């Protein structure tokens, strides 16, 4: 019998009475100890009640006990990235469930990523403090859990229990403080009677009509409010109710809180206001690219891979970065330097039900078109579920946005600090263009807009990069060939 808190229900059975006794015992470690402690408790209770139980014929009492473990709050730990609050997306437990260490407790959504919270204890779930879609702050208690005896952190539990008792005692002391402010004093403060000059009769009218004297235009000497002033104010109030109702109807609104991914967008876009943007735009012929894609997309679809134009755009961006590596950088504003990144972690702006999010495909320079398409399919699936993990959102070095899937031809994308470049594609249009023989032909055209940080990128550098990207898109065979073969062809 291992317990530290026991509630006993005793039936004292004597010749003259039988009644239950409830005793709260602590630090009980065995039945012998329980027997001794309970006996002392009964003798003390009967003596204090004026009954001499030693002179009565008493039979042995029966004991039933209930063990209670230590109940501790399960607090939401800091999940990093400067996150201060999260939204509860899903609970994996309910009150009454038993959990072990590392069991899933719930899934939360921050303004950057989805995180699964796991249990730090073995025990019984007692209460949940939040509902789905509620916002929880870092450090607040998500739930209450009753710990098992075999938890190794017994000393920590004792400390937590003491802290809880201190908090409860402080709460009790606060609640027990008397409220010395009378209703009349509250009304005086509310009506502004303690500072405004007025006669007792005027003050009485103000109290009866629940009017704040500070709202009345005074005409008396030294700002004194006269009886005529308060009557004039009452007439104005009686004339304006209908006008106020009309104004109230016209100002009906719905407050939509900014949370989830939209909250992160608020922060990043505010940060981007300090970046001096310049935009370079061009158009690109994708006739050949469409032919290559159409040849393989059906066979890839049978293998569960959806091949859009985006994997080609991403790979072309990576190949162009190999030619202009300084654009794959983070800006160190404090030291006024560029930190050129070796990995091409290319982010893709993605629209989700929770707002705009930018996950990235890592090490694109080492991936082929099919591998990029698979990664993009995975991220799109997670985006629809609003459950993109933090690892897929971190360390982005270069960003692309495909606004063309929604509509529009040109746009001015906004740079995500500390990156220095972002590209955006418009919709595909079939337009008349001249071929090599000066014949007008129907051409599939896509527009591209590059936004760069003008503090570290000039227009010539951006134009060179755009021309490299355009070359790979208009000659997609170089995207499909290996890097070694491309270097060989470029030197011959």
Q: Which residues of 464-484 are buried (b: 16+ CB within 10 A; e: fewer)?
A: ebbebbbebbeebebbeeeee
> Which residues on adjacent β-strands are paired with residue 267?
none
Active site residue 458: yes
Cβ proximity of 375 and 361 under 8 Å = yes
Cβ proximity of 38 and 60 under 8 Å = no
Q: Which of 278, 326, 264 is nearest to 113 (CA)?
A: 264
Query: Which residues, including other chains, have CB under 8 Å from residue 33's CB and lie 6 or more apart?
Result: none
Local structure of residue 181 (DSSP, 8 states): -
Cα gap 39→429, rounded to integer Å? 93
C-alpha 89: how far from its chain's center? 10
Catalytic residue among 78, 149, 435, 458: 458
Collapsing DSSP to helix, strand or coil, 457 comes out as coil
Cβ proximity of 75 and 119 under 8 Å = no
Cβ proximity of 46 and 134 under 8 Å = no
C-alpha 201: how far from its chain's center? 56
Cα gap 288→109, rounded to integer Å? 42
Phi (first) and psi of residue 408, to 5 degrees: 95, 150
Query: Which residues, including other chains, have CB under 8 Å from residue 76's CB and lie 6 or more apart?
Result: 86, 108, 117, 136, 137, 138, 139, 140, 141, 142
Q: How far apart are the first and last CA of the chain?
A: 85
Q: Which of 74, 78, 75 is nearest to 390 (CA)?
A: 78
Catalytic residue among 122, 148, 156, 454: 454
Cβ proximity of 376 and 364 under 8 Å = no
Phi (first) and psi of residue 442, to 5 degrees: -80, 125
DSSP string across 65-130: EEE-PPEEEEE----STT--EEEEEEES--TT-EE-TT-EEEEEE-SS-EEEEE-SS-EEEEEE--
Cα gap 213→144, rounded to integer Å? 50
Collapsing DSSP to helix, strand or coil, 276 comes out as coil
Catalytic residues: 454, 458
């Amino acid at each position: 019998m291992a317990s530290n808190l026991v509630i006993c229900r005793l039936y004292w059975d004597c010749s003259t009475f039988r009644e239950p006794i409830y005793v709260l015992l602590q630090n009980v470690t065995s039945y012998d100890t329980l027997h001794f402690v309970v006996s002392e408790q009964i003798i003390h209770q009967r003596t204090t009640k004026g009954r001499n139980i030693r002179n009565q014929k008493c039979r042995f009492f029966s004991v039933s006990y209930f063990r209670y473990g230590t109940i501790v709050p399960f607090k939401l730990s800091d999940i990093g990235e400067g996150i201060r609050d999260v939204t509860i997306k899903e609970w994996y437990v309910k009150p009454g469930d038993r959990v072990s260490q590392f069991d899933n407790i719930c899934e939360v959504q921050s303004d950057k990523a989805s995180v699964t919270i796991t249990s730090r204890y073995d025990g019984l779930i007692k209460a949940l403090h939040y509902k789905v879609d509620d916002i929880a702050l870092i450090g607040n208690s998500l739930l209450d859990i009753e710990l098992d005896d075999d938890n190794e952190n017994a000393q920590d539990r004792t400390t937590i229990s003491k802290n809880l008792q201190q908090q409860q005692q402080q709460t009790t002391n606060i609640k027990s403080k008397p409220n010395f402010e009378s209703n009349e004093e509250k009304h005086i403060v509310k009506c502004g009677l303690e500072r405004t000059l007025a006669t007792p009769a005027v003050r009485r009218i103000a109290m009866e009509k629940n009017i704040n004297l500070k709202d009345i235009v005074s005409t008396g000497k030294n700002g004194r409010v006269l009886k005529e002033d308060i009557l004039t104010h009452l007439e104005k109030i009686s004339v304006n109710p209908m006008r106020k109702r009309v104004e109230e109807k016209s100002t009906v609104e719905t407050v939509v809180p900014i949370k989830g991914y939209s909250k992160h967008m608020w922060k990043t876009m505010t940060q981007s206001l300090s970046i001096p943007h310049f935009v370079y735009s061009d158009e690109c012929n994708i006739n050949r690219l469409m032919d290559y894609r159409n040849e393989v997309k059906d066979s890839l679809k049978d293998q569960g891979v959806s091949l859009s134009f985006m994997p080609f755009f991403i790979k072309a961006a990576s190949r162009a970065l190999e030619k202009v590596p300084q654009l794959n950088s983070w800006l160190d504003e404090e030291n006024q330097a560029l930190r050129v990144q070796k990995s091409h972690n290319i982010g893709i702006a993605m629209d989700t039900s929770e707002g705009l999010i930018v996950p990235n495909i890592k090490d694109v320079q080492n991936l082929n078109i099919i591998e990029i398409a698979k990664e993009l399919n995975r991220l799109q699936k997670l985006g629809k579920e609003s459950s993109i993990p933090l690892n897929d959102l971190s360390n982005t070095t270069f960003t692309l946005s495909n606004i063309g899937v929604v509509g529009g031809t040109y746009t001015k994308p906004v740079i995500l600090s500390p990156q220095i470049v972002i590209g955006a594609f418009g919709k595909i249009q079939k337009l008349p263009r001249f071929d090599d023989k000066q014949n007008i032909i129907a051409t599939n055209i896509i527009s591209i807009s590059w936004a760069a940080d003008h503090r570290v990128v000039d227009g010539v550098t951006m134009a060179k990069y755009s021309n490299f990207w355009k070359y790979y898109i208009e000659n997609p065979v170089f995207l499909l060939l290996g890097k070694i073969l491309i270097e060989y062809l470029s030197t011959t």
